[in-house]
Structures are given as structure tokens and as C-alpha cells.
């Protein structure tokens, strides 16, 4: 998968500003021209009455009649000026940012405002790098050197995301918003080997070319700013912590009889219910069924401070360092602020606030063998003259769990992708997948209690499970469709997104050969097929592989259909006899 230059040095597009000089004569055509702006491209369009009011204000020498008018309107005014109209109107062209891909990755890229200054996302974080700078050159004429300057241009920021994959997952997420009548869908994919974010998706999106047409809430980058209770996906990290501390093994079993129950010394009873009764379950069974009881009882085996420190080491309660403007640190309460029920509640993904970026970063640590990596969205930065001034290198933050623990958690998560687990709808054929689903109740801001109608449905996927390369996380906010359960509505979205990743990357699938090339594809020759003492097994072989048999005049070959062999008569292993008839069925 290649990176794409989605954010580059600040380019120039024409923004027309009409400046009306007070005290000069102007034509009513100004009002008509400005009123014709119907495309939403004008952030500060004023009415004819407002123009008149400003015109009659003698305290200013000039004022802006409009900003960001269309080229057509500007041309109309230029044409009118040739006939003597608009003597008091001046048209200015200023530099600005043009986003040719529209809303693609808009929450990551951000936008520029007045003065071509970054206002959000990469645009504001890398404002200094992207701003135009004078570029010196030196030309030699004989013995004399003459210094000159090139046109000012900012640096080019190359993102880690792939435009094609970003587009595909944005479409998938957009469809999920509609099908589930959801407020929003978040999707983020990360290369677990280096911490590079491959897809950064929030839907519905916005077009940074017309950022003023969207309010601040619509432009909010949910992946880095929105903190929420994650629900059962968080069990991956709590169980990984407990397992790594040696409090349990993969074979430790707990009685998941429908609820976690604990009676305190003062007689207070704590009950955390499960959806069903699951009986005695080990690590794999607890994650497959997403048993609150199993996770709660496991949490009782470790101390408050130990669980807190382990979860903090995964990055919860702190910013990921991706560095987007205003990134949230979420919330992981210190143990001294815990109640008697906090530990089992925290372990199942409640009483903790996370961001989607924290979730994908922590998941990558589990996937890559236990090392938390510094996540990034920037691959490299180049000057306008092609000099590389920054290039991302893998940065290990810390080891959070052992390689053995990471392997055992991934193996246990694979059980959730089976028909017995909650995440079977996330399973991609021919690829081993580690999955965990989640459903979290949201807090009602009016009452402060959990809402009975607002949920976040989510699913985490890591694949290929036998050699993890990708972590993928999907969260659907406030679904209002037929279901709000992560395993029912978020898991299918993850499966579609995983298919998009597999399409974009050179990841092997069990029944699909992988060919890597640099422009030339070399396909290995087919094995030579001969008739010896028995009929060979030709299942799955292409039609051209049968040509060797056709040339054998000692037998009669019949080929039915095209494509690949799906059946043959007689069966493989049948003794060969002179003149026998071999029938191959192809599809």
C-alpha cells in the first residue's frame, strides 16, 4: 500500500474579495451580482441593505462587500467595470488552500481559514512547515554568483494513509450511518508493525473547501476529541493485564452463571449481569461470549493499583501523541478515587473514557507482541525542492505485556470470530481473525445516569491472527436501527472494512496466492501432469494444465466447462488402463 500526498505545501487558488470604498459612487449591480451567489462558496455574503448601510458609514475608508465570491461573479464585475461601472469596487486575489479530493480524510487534514492559516488537523499542527517560505537559488555566470529567489512554497507533508483505502472505508462507514440511523461512525486502521495509521475515518464528513458551511460540532474530529466508555472491547486490555501479571492462565476457569456477584464486608452487594448464563469458561470462552462475570471475577485476583498501572501503560488516560489539535486524554481514574465496584466495572469497559485513537494504539500493542508504539499519521515531510526533512521511524514507547501474553490473548480472541462467539459476523473468509465486540450504554446528560436508548456499538479486529499486520476498529455512535449490539451491527462493518484493507494491501489469504512484483508479474509454471499408474488429482487446476493429458493418446480426455477443475471422473487414485475415459468438470 502506498502513501498519498494528501496535504502538501500551501498552494494558491483565487479568493476574490470585493472591497467597496466608502464615499465613492457604486452601482446597484453589486447587489444583484452578490445576490446571485447560490453555491455556498461565500462565507460572508451580505445583503444589498447591509452594503448600503456600510456605504453610508463615513467613519471607515473602505469595507468588504463580500469574500470568497465565485470566479463567474468576479468576472461579471470586471466586465461591468470596463463600461464605467463599479468605480468604487476593487477585486483582490489572495492565496488559499484547495482540497481537490473534497471531503476525503477531512477530519485528519483539517482546513485553512482567513490568511491561509491552518485551523484544524494536520493544517494547524504543521502550520509552520506548510506555510510558504522564500527559496534561495544560486546561478553562476562565469566567476560571479548571482543569488535569486524561487516562488515561495511550503513543505509537502506526506500522510501515512492510503487515499484508495480511505475512500473505500469512508463509503462503508457512510453506508453504516444510513443503515443504522446513527449519529456517526468512526473507523481507524493501523499497521501494527510501525504505528502508522492507514485509514482515519469519521462519517458523516465535511468538505474543507467549504468549511464555513458546517458548524463546529460537524467539523469535530471524533477520533481524537471524543471520549466515551468503550464497553466490552476494553476486556481485551483488562484480561491481557491480568493474564500478564500471572493472576490467571488461559486455562483458568470461572463460573459465568449469569452475573458477577460480590458481597462486601458491610453487607453491600455488587451485581454485574451478563446477557446469558455461560457456565464454566476459560479465557477464550470469556472473550468469545463477552462474559462480564468472568472478567469481573478475574479482576478480583489483582490489586487496584496493579490493574490501574497496567491499563495506564496501554496508554489509557493520556494522549496518544498523534498530535492533532486538542486531542483528548480520556479518563482513567486513579485508584484512590475508585469505589468498591470500580475495579470489576472498569475491567468490563465502564467507568473509563477512551478515544478511538487510544483503542487502536492499545490494540496494536497486543497485536505486535506487546510493545506500545508511537502512532503517526505523517510518513515524511519534504521541502518544495524535494529535500526530506523528516521521515517516520518506528518509535517504541514501552513494552506493556510479554510476547507470550500477547499471543495467548490473540489466540483467545480468535474464538470470538467463530460461530460460538459474538464476533462471527466480522469474520473474513480465508483469513484468521482475532475479534472482540462491544456494546456500551451512553450517559444521559440530563440525568447523569446510563441512557436506555443511546449506545455505542463497536468491534475490534486484528488480522491475520497468525501473523498480525493490521488492527481495525469500528464504533457506531447512537444507532437507532433494529439493533444496537456491537456484534450485530459493528461486526459486519468491520468485515467490509477488513475486505477493503485486504484488497489494498499485499496480505496473504489461505486460498489466494500472493504475488509481489515491481511492475512485472512472473507466474510460476504449472507442474507437469502425467499419467502414471493412477489418475492424478486435478482439483483446482486451470484448464491449460489439462493440455499435457490431452496429448496422451493412450486415454480419452473430455473437458466440460471453463475455468478450474471442480470435479473429475474417475476419482483420483483410480488405476490407469489403456483407452480409459477421463472426464473433467470445470467452473
Which pLDDT tens digit goes with each residue over 358-371? Answer: 999 999 999 999 99
Determine the Cα angle at 314 with ends 308 and 319, to 5°.
100
**Spans of the chain, pLDDT less than 70:** 1-48, 67-70, 93-96, 134-152, 323, 511-527
In DSSP notation, 70-129 reads -HHHHHHHHHHHTTT--TTEEEEEE-----TTTTTTHHHH--B-GGG-B-SHHHHHTHHH
CA-to-CA separations, 236 to 53, 172, 343, 477, in angstroms, rounded: 64, 25, 15, 21
Pair 98, 11: CB distance under 8 Å: yes
Q: What is the pLDDT of residue 377?
A: 94
Residue-level pLDDT at 421: 92
Contact criterion met (CB below 8 Å) for 274 and 259: yes
Cα gap 120→127, rounded to integer Å: 10
Task: Provide the pLDDT for residue 23.
Answer: 37
What is the pLDDT, as a whole number, of residue 49? 73
DSSP 8-state class, residue 207: -
Q: What pTM did the predictor assign? A: 0.76
C-alpha cell at 363: 490494540
The secondary structure of residue 530, as a DSSP letter, is -
Q: What is the pLDDT of residue 130?
A: 84
C-alpha 286 chain-centroid distance: 27
Asked if 486 and 437 touch (Cβ cutoff 8 Å), the reply is: yes
Question: Which single residue is written with the C-alpha cell 456484534?
Answer: 487
- The per-residue pLDDT for range 383-392, each reduced to its tens digit, is 888 889 999 9
Amino acid at each position: 500500500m502506498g502513501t498519498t500526498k494528501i496535504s502538501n505545501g500551501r498552494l494558491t487558488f483565487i479568493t476574490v474579495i470585493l472591497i467597496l470604498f466608502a464615499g465613492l459612487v457604486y452601482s446597484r449591480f453589486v447587489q444583484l451580482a452578490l445576490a446571485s451567489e447560490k453555491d455556498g462558496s461565500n462565507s460572508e455574503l451580505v445583503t444589498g441593505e447591509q452594503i448600503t448601510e456600510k456605504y453610508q458609514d463615513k467613519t471607515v475608508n473602505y469595507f468588504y462587500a463580500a469574500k470568497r465570491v465565485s470566479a463567474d461573479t468576479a468576472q461579471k464585475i470586471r466586465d461591468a467595470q470596463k463600461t464605467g461601472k463599479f468605480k468604487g469596487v476593487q477585486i483582490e486575489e489572495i492565496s488559499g488552500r484547495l482540497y481537490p479530493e473534497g471531503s476525503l480524510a477531512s477530519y485528519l487534514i483539517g482546513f485553512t481559514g482567513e490568511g491561509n492559516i491552518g485551523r484544524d488537523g494536520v493544517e494547524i499542527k504543521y502550520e509552520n512547515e506548510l506555510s510558504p517560505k522564500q527559496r534561495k537559488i544560486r546561478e553562476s555566470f562565469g566567476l560571479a554568483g548571482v543569488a535569486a529567489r524561487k516562488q515561495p512554497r511550503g513543505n509537502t507533508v506526506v500522510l501515512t494513509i492510503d487515499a484508495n483505502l480511505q475512500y473505500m472505508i469512508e463509503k462503508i462507514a457512510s453506508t453504516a450511518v444510513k443503515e443504522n440511523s446513527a449519529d456517526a461512525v468512526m473507523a481507524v486502521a493501523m499497521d501494527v508493525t510501525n504505528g502508522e495509521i492507514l485509514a482515519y475515518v469519521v462519517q458523516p464528513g465535511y468538505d474543507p473547501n467549504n468549511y464555513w458551511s458546517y458548524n463546529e460540532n460537524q467539523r469535530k474530529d471524533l477520533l481524537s476529541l471524543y471520549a466515551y466508555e468503550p464497553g466490552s472491547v476494553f476486556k481485551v486490555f483488562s484480561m491481557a493485564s491480568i493474564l500478564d501479571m500471572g493472576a490467571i492462565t488461559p486455562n483458568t476457569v470461572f463460573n459465568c452463571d449469569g452475573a458477577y456477584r460480590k458481597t462486601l464486608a458491610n453487607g453491600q452487594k455488587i451485581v454485574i449481569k451478563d446477557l446469558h448464563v455461560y457456565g464454566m469458561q476459560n479465557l477464550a470462552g470469556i472473550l468469545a461470549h463477552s462474559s462480564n462475570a468472568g472478567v469481573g471475577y478475574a479482576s478480583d485476583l489483582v490489586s487496584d493499583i496493579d490493574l490501574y498501572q497496567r491499563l495506564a501503560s496501554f496508554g489509557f488516560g493520556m494522549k496518544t501523541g498523534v498530535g492533532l489539535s486538542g486531542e483528548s486524554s480520556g479518563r482513567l481514574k486513579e485508584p484512590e478515587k475508585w469505589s468498591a465496584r470500580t475495579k470489576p466495572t472498569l475491567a468490563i469497559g465502564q467507568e473509563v473514557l477512551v478515544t478511538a485513537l487510544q483503542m487502536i494504539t492499545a490494540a496494536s500493542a497486543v497485536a505486535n507482541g506487546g510493545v506500545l508504539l508511537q502512532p503517526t499519521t505523517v510518513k515524511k515531510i519534504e521541502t518544495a525542492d524535494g529535500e526530506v526533512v523528516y521521515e517516520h521511524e518506528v518509535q517504541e514507547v514501552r513494552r506493556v505485556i510479554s510476547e507470550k501474553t500477547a499471543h495467548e490473548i490473540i489466540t483467545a480472541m480468535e474464538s470470538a470470530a467463530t460461530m460460538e462467539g459474538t464476533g462471527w459476523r466480522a469474520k473474513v473468509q480465508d483469513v484468521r481473525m482475532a475479534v472482540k465486540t462491544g456494546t456500551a450504554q451512553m450517559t444521559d446528560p440530563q440525568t447523569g445516569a446510563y441512557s436506555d436508548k443511546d449506545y455505542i456499538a463497536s468491534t475490534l479486529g486484528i488480522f491475520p491472527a497468525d501473523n498480525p499486520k493490521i488492527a481495525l476498529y469500528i464504533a457506531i455512535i447512537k444507532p437507532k436501527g433494529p439493533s444496537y449490539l456491537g456484534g450485530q451491527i459493528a461486526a459486519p462493518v468491520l468485515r467490509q472494512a477488513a475486505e477493503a484493507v485486504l484488497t489494498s494491501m499485499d496480505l496473504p489469504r489461505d486460498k489466494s496466492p500472493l504475488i509481489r512484483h515491481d511492475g512485472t508479474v512472473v507466474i510460476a509454471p504449472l507442474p507437469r501432469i502425467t499419467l502414471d499408474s493412477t489418475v492424478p488429482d486435478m482439483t483446482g487446476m486451470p484448464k491449460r494444465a489439462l493440455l499435457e493429458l490431452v496429448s496422451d493418446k493412450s486415454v480419452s480426455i473430455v473437458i466440460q466447462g471453463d475455468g478450474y477443475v471442480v470435479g473429475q471422473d474417475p476419482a483420483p487414485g483410480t488405476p490407469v488402463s489403456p483407452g480409459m475415459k477421463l472426464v473433467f468438470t470445470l467452473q
